């Protein structure tokens, strides 16, 4: 095996690793923007339901999407799509 073939194999592996990392970051960004987002409770304003320091995941689709659901969202529609009203007992 020549030196050129060895360097070609290394750059292919490095390029593939870089591609996988970029894909994972994009997937995480889409999931965090559209589906779920983790939060930490900073104060006691939600006591006794939620305590300081509690961690929770928030579903972002529960009450629908609006133009403000995406960063720099275009004004394609008005109001909310796929939405529903909060029910009694929901933590909003």
pLDDT at residue 22 in the model: 97
- The count of domains in the chain is 1
Q: Answer for the pair 73, 90: CB distance below 8 angstroms, yes or no.
A: no
List the structure tokens of 4.
């050129």
- Asked if the structure places residue 15 within a domain, the reply is yes
Round to whole Å and give the CA distance between 60 and 41: 17
Q: Note whether residue 21 is domain-resident.
A: yes
Q: What Rg do the C-alpha atoms of the chain give, in angstroms? A: 22
pLDDT value of position 27: 95
Nearest to 83 by CA among 67, 74, 75: 67
Domain assignment of residue 90, yes or no: no
Instruction: For residue 11, give every residue at least 6 positions away whose Cβ sits within 8 Å of its Cβ, in sequence order, or none.
Output: none
The whole-number pLDDT of residue 83 equals 72
Mean pLDDT of 57-80: 73
pLDDT band of 11, cuts 50, 70, 90: low
Q: What mean pLDDT is reported for the chain?
A: 79
**Local structure of 23: helix, strand or coil:** helix
Q: Dump pLDDT digits (tens) for 22-55.
A: 999 999 988 888 888 888 999 988 888 889 999 9
Residue 43 lies in domain: 3-69
């Amino acid at each position: 095996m020549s030196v050129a073939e060895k360097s070609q194999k290394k750059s292919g592996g490095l390029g593939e690793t870089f591609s996988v990392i970029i894909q994972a970051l994009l997937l995480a960004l889409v999931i965090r923007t559209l589906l779920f987002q983790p939060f930490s409770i900073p104060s006691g304003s939600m006591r006794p339901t939620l305590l300081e320091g509690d961690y929770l995941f928030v579903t972002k689709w529960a009450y629908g999407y609006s133009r403000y659901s995406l960063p720099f969202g275009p004004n394609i529609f008005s109001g909310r799509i796929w939405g529903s009203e909060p029910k009694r007992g929901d933590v909003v």
